[in-house]
Structure 1
Amino acid sequence: MQRSSEYVDLQVNGYLGVDFNSDQLTAEDLHTACAAIRESGVAGILATIITDHMEVMVARLSRLRQLHEADPLVRETVWGIHIEGPFINREKGYVGAHPPDAVRPANLDDAKKLVEAAGGLARLVTLAPEGDQGMQVTRFLADAGVRVSAGHCNPSLEQLRAAIDAGLTLFTHLGNGCPAQVDRHDNIIQRVLSLADQLIVCWIADGIHVPFMALANYLKCVDFDRSLVVSDAISAAGLGPGRYSLGEHEVIVDENLSTCMDGDTSHLAGSATSLPQMAAKLRDQLGLTEQQVQTLCCGTPRRVLGL
């Protein structure tokens, strides 16, 4: 039975050497990863499938759905799927570790294919509002009961407001999925913070993706009940430094658990830190209370999922 105090992670790409975006994902591998995730103190996750060519994403979603149906432990652990892409911003910096050649504008036909392939497991989709003409895809997903999050994007303030009106409710890992150098005032971080009373904002709290000094400032701007922490864990989580896979790419994890893809150090490629490890950092580095940590790592994520 799940305890309400156990952590809930809405963005997990893999764990313990298992890559959820691998075309060779096996039932045994997924079972092993889920068992380790639960042993770590995480009750449930959204397994995350990232940007790739449509036929590849559809195949990976279908495979994950089939494995989910066949294994009770996987069903207990994987509470749904987070589809991150392919409807994101392809510009350098915003695209992050996603393959630019697979990025495409949001469109209803592809959105329907992805949701259908997930077979009812699609719980969250991250997209770029500026690529969603008339916010049609945002509205379609929201009407279908799928949470919509902006991320890897650079919408104007007006586009963000229009997306919120259409059903956008979250922002994916603020402070990441954007260039290292941005306009000092008019940038995606400031725009989201200006709408913090209308969005739930997700953070990667490993101290690498967002320095703790900056995270402390952000948490003064966004109420705790509108903030949550995700791990954005890749297959290195639970293991440590080394070479791992994310889809068809190699990710190198250094001694500080910083990640880079295919030797490109210009951006991070997911996290090698688990959600329980991040919770400990929130207590130790930021001095958060246990209640505050529970809100970020359990309460708000559960509320996002309607639990």
Structure 2
Amino acid sequence: MPDANDTSAGYIDLQVNGYAGVDFNHDSLTPASLRHACERMRADGVEACLATIITAQPDAIARRLARLAQWREQDELIKSVIRGLHIEGPALNPADGFRGAHDLQAIQPASVDLFMPLLEAGGGLVRMVTLAPEYDPGMATIRRLSREGCLVSAGHCDASLDQLREAIDAGLRLYTHLGNGCPMNMHRHDNIIQRCLHLRDALTICFIADGVHVPYVALANYLALTGDEGAVVVTDAMAAAGLGPGNYTLGHWEIEVGEDLAAWAPGRAHLVGSAMTMRQAHANLHEHLGLDAQQITRLTRTNAGLLLDEIEAANVK
């Protein structure tokens, strides 16, 4: 573990889809390319991450989880960087705007029968699952995933306040990249962002701090409500992270990354992950929000680490 006073390193990122030209969601992934991504993350100050597999058909998700779990056991560097796995989808809200970049054809309601084979494919390494509570009948999946030792996070959803409360009672712990995974135009007051912030004392809220997914003025407002102890900064990094502008892939998407490091679907229809690194997020929090070293450390390392420590302890039988 890096020195606690060294905020330039030791980052823990709960959402990494790929890095340094490597896409964790593409079937071209190899042990060598996975190791390369881990080497680059470590060089960029990342102590650990959750490798994130996004919405696809269940057999494809299972295959991608299984190879990450297998290759992690075969390489000590990969094992040290990839602390666990994060499944984002496929049980998300299918409506335009809410589903974001996730494949509409692969989205389906949550069920225990859907997720248990995925946990098995992940070899006991699935630490986080993002789903839409309103598509989990009776919150049965959230309840089961929590019992199985997963951090369950709401995201790409439009759950009502009552549904969020019910989900929290069932074990919901986080909210995935608040301010994203929702339409550009929503009701000015009754919307998922307001509902989530209202329940901030019961949820750890994740943010992408690149100034694009959430403008800095909005991020400052959100963090003023959550406090630096109630939030986690993630990158939602995809293959462009650490490389800069260019054309990349994330799953089935061909992505354009501009000078601002925003990752866009063709025609700039919507954002598709981020090209930001955790070191850049650190700089953004200091330069644009004026946060001090202690606050940044909590947001980029401590809070995520405590969540993973807790869930890993629960997985020790």
Distance, in Å, in 1 between the alignment partners of 2:121 and 2:176 is: 22
Distance, in Å, in 2 between the alignment partners of 1:22 and 1:76 is: 22
One of 214, 237, 241 as aligned partner of 1:233 = 237
Q: Secondary structure at the match of 1:276?
A: helix
Q: Percent identity?
A: 51
The residue aligned with 1:207 is: 211
Q: Normalising by structure 2, what TM-score?
A: 0.95
Is 2:315 the partner of 1:290? Answer: no
User: Over residues 214-257 of structure 1, what are the superposed CA-to-partner deviations in whole Å (9 max), with x where a residue is unaligned?
Assistant: 00011111121110100000000000010001012211101111
Q: Secondary structure at the match of 2:301?
A: helix
Distance, in Å, in 2 between the alignment partners of 1:303 and 1:226 is: 12
Query: Is the 1:18–1:29 Cα contact (8 Å) retained in structure 2?
Result: yes
Q: CA deviation at 1:303?
A: 1.1
Structure 1 residues without counterparts, runs of 5 or longer: none
- The amino acid of 2:59's aligned partner reads E
Distance, in Å, in 1 between the alignment partners of 2:3 and 2:79 is: 16
Q: CA deviation at 1:266?
A: 2.8
Q: Secondary structure at the match of 1:148?
A: strand
The residue aligned with 1:64 is: 68
Is 2:94 the partner of 1:86? Answer: no
The residue aligned with 2:281 is: 278
Distance, in Å, in 2 between the alignment partners of 1:275 and 1:100 is: 29
Distance, in Å, in 2 between the alignment partners of 1:156 and 1:3 is: 42
- The amino acid of 1:222's aligned partner reads T
Distance, in Å, in 2 between the alignment partners of 1:151 and 1:273 is: 20
The residue aligned with 1:12 is: 16
Q: Secondary structure at the match of 1:270?
A: strand
Distance, in Å, in 1 between the alignment partners of 2:221 and 2:227 is: 11
Query: Is the 1:3–1:43 Cα contact (8 Å) retained in structure 2?
Result: no
Q: Secondary structure at the match of 1:112?
A: helix
User: Over residues 46-105 of structure 1, what are the superposed CA-to-partner deviations in whole Å (9 max), with x where a residue is unaligned?
Assistant: 000000011111111111111111111000000000100001111000000111110000
Distance, in Å, in 2 between the alignment partners of 1:258 and 1:302 is: 27
The residue aligned with 1:24 is: 28
Distance, in Å, in 2 between the alignment partners of 1:97 and 1:302 is: 28
Distance, in Å, in 1 between the alignment partners of 2:293 and 2:114 is: 42
Is 2:307 the partner of 1:299? Answer: no
Query: Is the 1:85–1:103 Cα contact (8 Å) retained in structure 2?
Result: yes
Is 2:225 the partner of 1:221? Answer: yes
One of 94, 117, 123 as aligned partner of 1:119 = 123
The residue aligned with 2:270 is: 267
Q: 1:154 to 1:264 in 2, by over 3 A?
A: farther
Distance, in Å, in 1 between the alignment partners of 2:263 and 2:80 is: 29
Structure 2 residues without counterparts, runs of 5 or longer: 311-317
Query: Is the 1:96–1:152 Cα contact (8 Å) retained in structure 2?
Result: yes
The residue aligned with 1:134 is: 138
Q: CA deviation at 1:2?
A: 5.0
Q: CA deviation at 1:286?
A: 0.6
Distance, in Å, in 1 between the alignment partners of 2:270 and 2:251 is: 17
* Number of aligned residues: 306
Is 2:186 the partner of 1:185? Answer: no
Q: Normalising by structure 1, what TM-score?
A: 0.98
